[in-house]
């Protein structure tokens, strides 16, 4: 039986990290584009990511998390059974990210100042606004050799590499804090109390049982409700039977 993994943040910072991670996955998948519509997906993801970064003070949050990771790694290095070679490699990566983040004044500033990206960015917010009649310059770019387009994309993505690296390592540390345990939700409902360090709830649930989990809560307590993908004959959307699942509090 195939399980689906669901992740629910308990604070806005982690919610933002998960959103950025999702956008980066779309962005790096679309960079392998071969057709015009795939390049358009790349620009959609790129501009959504830039818009999100514009509204957030993501640099300072990441710096705080990176510095916390550094302290934890120094503490773990004193453990006699630790893999010191792997720890030192991770610590060097953390230190490099910290210095790079400190040197960044404005996240993705060169992307926002890029003349070509700036000339097409606003049109992507308009339904149907990216047609050749609206953006002849984009249409021209799409007809250039693949090697030229790939080189442009490589340059644009370099501006975001540090943010992506910081997101990846921070979420990796966060996810590794939790271990999955088996839980039963009576009548499709489960309520839990979060401890001070919990920031993320991860749920493994069967993907072929006709229901999925939803979560509401905060850093103090949370409630999980299993919801039917399609309403039953009575029109109810809530699962009324016991549900077994696995959960990790991170």
Q: Return the structure tokens found at 194.
A: 């979060």
pLDDT of residue 224: 95
| Cβ burial, residue 114 (10 Å; 0-12/13-18/19+) | middle
pLDDT of residue 129: 83
pLDDT of residue 83: 65
Backbone angles phi, psi at 245, to 5 degrees: -150, 175
pLDDT at 226 over 70: yes
pLDDT band at 80 (very low <50, low <70, confident <90, very high): low
Average pLDDT, integer, range 82-86: 71
pLDDT at 1 over 70: no
pLDDT of residue 33: 80
**More confident call, 159 vs 189:** 189
User: For residues 174 and 9, what is the distance between their CA atoms, to the nearest angstrom?
Assistant: 11
Domain ranges in the chain? Answer: 12-174, 180-249
CA 141 centroid distance within chain: 29
CATH 3.40.50.170 corresponds to the domain 180-249: no
Average pLDDT, integer, range 135-155: 93
**More confident call, 181 vs 28:** 181
What angle, rounded to 10 degrees, do the helices at 58-76 and 161-175 form? 50
Nearest to residue 42, comparing CAs of 143, 107, 121, 129?
Answer: 121
- Give me the percent of the chain exceeding a pLDDT of 70: 96
Of the CATH numbers 1.10.10.10, 1.10.3720.10, 1.10.3900.10, 3.40.50.1820, which one belongs to the domain with range 12-174? 1.10.3900.10
pLDDT tens string 160-185? 888 899 899 899 989 988 899 999 99
pLDDT at 59 over 90: no
pLDDT at 26 over 90: no
């Amino acid at each position: 039986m195939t399980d689906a993994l669901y992740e629910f943040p308990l604070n806005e910072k982690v919610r933002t990290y998960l959103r950025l991670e999702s956008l980066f996955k779309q962005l790096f998948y679309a960079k392998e584009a071969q057709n015009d519509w795939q390049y358009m997906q790349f620009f959609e993801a790129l501009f959504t990511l830039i818009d999100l970064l514009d509204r957030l003070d993501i640099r300072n949050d990441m710096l705080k998390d990176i510095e916390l990771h550094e302290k934890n790694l120094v503490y773990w290095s004193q453990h006699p059974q630790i893999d010191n070679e792997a720890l030192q490699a991770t610590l060097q990566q953390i230190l490099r990210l910290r210095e790079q983040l400190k040197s960044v004044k404005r996240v993705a500033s060169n992307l926002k100042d890029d003349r070509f990206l700036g000339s097409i960015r606003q049109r992507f917010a308009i339904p149907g606004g990216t047609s050749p009649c609206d953006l002849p310059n984009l249409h021209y770019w799409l007809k250039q050799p693949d090697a030229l387009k790939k080189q442009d994309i490589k340059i644009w993505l370099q501006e975001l590499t540090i943010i992506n690296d910081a997101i990846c390592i921070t979420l990796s540390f966060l996810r590794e804090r939790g271990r999955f345990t088996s839980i039963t939700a009576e009548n499709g409902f489960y309520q839990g109390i979060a401890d001070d360090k919990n920031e993320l709830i991860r749920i493994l649930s069967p993907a072929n049982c006709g229901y999925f989990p939803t979560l509401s809560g905060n850093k103090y307590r949370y409630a999980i409700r299993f919801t039917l993908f399609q309403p039953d004959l009575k029109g109810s959307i809530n699962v009324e039977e016991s549900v077994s699942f696995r959960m990790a509090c991170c």
